[in-house]
Structure 1
């Protein structure tokens, strides 16, 4: 592929990201706006296994209220285009009248084949979460979802930038009378790699709840810093 073709693809990808961001920003003016920030440290245990720890804080109600603060850990195995992970997360969530502690357990598989400078990824995640086990009558009943995400990334030649776009849906699996999609997530993002060990990710996404009482749309900016130990 010649230099002109590369430049053409670069312009298409960048203009597409800018267009989507502009559209989401217009919608966000009349809906709730949030900010998610996080930092993640990863340690290579062996050629195939990694261990990571993440600390994150989330704001909602147009940045006027804390939504949740959590610490999570993940152990993952990867080989070529396939990876699988086990995750645990403990969080403190802000409810209307009290704070609640949540415990989340997840298992996921991911496939990320590459085509030229594109990476097309699928991730399937089984997730169950217990909230307010000792502080609410139904705290022993988990919220369980089967999450499915499709993600497209583009590696810009000569630049440490990786734009991406993705769609994910959350399918409820433990409510036998209402098994259905309860949340959609649309995301555009841009990762910048400082060097082999340090990177920062910027994202803008829409969380949309559906098929439930009082559905809502929340527009969120995400900022994540990652480094390898």
Structure 2
């Protein structure tokens, strides 16, 4: 019980620290003219679990921006995960997307990422700490404006989830930090993201998830705050026996 209290206290302190940081940044950004947007994300995902250690995922997602009035991008993502240890998971993923470049139309991009995640449980709570490296680039020719774009990045996410056999609802909360690498420059944190989600377990029919992201850009002359509402459906197929 003592360990559980320490873990909860540590996670709560982290949340309060990052939340306080964002409030301070937002207060300062008001003076410099912060821009904002409201986006909507919708996705469907199929997961295949094999022999307890392997997980294959296929996702289709559509994202709307400009106050959810136009398509920003849509993509397909395929990922493969392997549980190295009971508390450690390794995952690789490839994403192909079409991004709306307004007057230039839709342009194809690809993104690859490698994840390493550490996880543990405490009674009805589960905690997940994920480190991700990602590389994004445009397929085909790249114009001069995109040569110095942010292609390499690191992300760190801390997530807590509550699950009980007595109720079908699974609330969760996450904080994620984005580090981006720009050509001929040092790394820097450029975005923080808070996520509150609520999933409803439909048992053998899958799971529905409703989530809300709050993103805040950092260290920018014109910082941007983005609110995101999303809805997702996840269907899991398990084949645990050899």
TM range (shorter): 0.7 to 0.9
**Structure 2: tracts of 5 or more residues without a match:** 2-18, 20-34, 238-242
CA distance in 2, matches of 1:58, 1:120: 27
CA distance in 1, matches of 2:232, 2:52: 25
User: Are 1:50 and 2:55 matched, yes or no?
Assistant: yes
User: Are 1:191 and 2:199 matched, yes or no?
Assistant: yes
Q: Deviation per CA, 1:46-80, whole angstroms, max 9, x where unpaired?
A: 33112111000000111111111000100111242
- The alignment covers a number of residue pairs equal to 202
Alignment of 1:155-194 (within 5 A): 155-194=163-202
Tell me the CA shift for residue 96 of structure 1.
3.5
CA distance in 1, matches of 2:49, 2:163: 23
Indicate the residue corresponding to 1:150 in structure 2. Answer: 158
* Contact preservation (8 Å) 1:188, 1:203: yes
Indicate which of 216, 219, 224 corresponds to 1:208.
216
* Contact preservation (8 Å) 1:83, 1:110: yes
Structure 1 213/91 Cα, relative in aligned 2: closer, same or farther at 3 Å?
A: farther
CA distance in 1, matches of 2:165, 2:47: 26
Indicate which of 64, 67, 82 corresponds to 1:77.
82
User: Are 1:91 and 2:97 matched, yes or no?
Assistant: yes
**Structure 1: tracts of 5 or more residues without a match:** 2-19, 21-29
> Which secondary structure state, in structure 2, belongs to the residue aligned with residue 31 of structure 1?
strand
CA distance in 1, matches of 2:163, 2:123: 9
Indicate the residue corresponding to 2:133 in structure 1. Answer: 126
Tell me the CA shift for residue 81 of structure 1.
2.1
User: Are 1:100 and 2:107 matched, yes or no?
Assistant: yes
Q: Deviation per CA, 1:134-166, whole angstroms, max 9, x where unpaired?
A: 252355666111100011111145101110111
CA distance in 2, matches of 1:45, 1:217: 40
CA distance in 2, matches of 1:101, 1:31: 26
TM-score by length of 1: 0.81
Q: RMSD between aligned alpha carbons?
A: 2.2
In terms of fraction of residues, the more helix-rich structure is 2
Tell me the CA shift for residue 45 of structure 1.
3.7
Structure 1 31/138 Cα, relative in aligned 2: closer, same or farther at 3 Å?
A: closer
* Contact preservation (8 Å) 1:130, 1:140: no
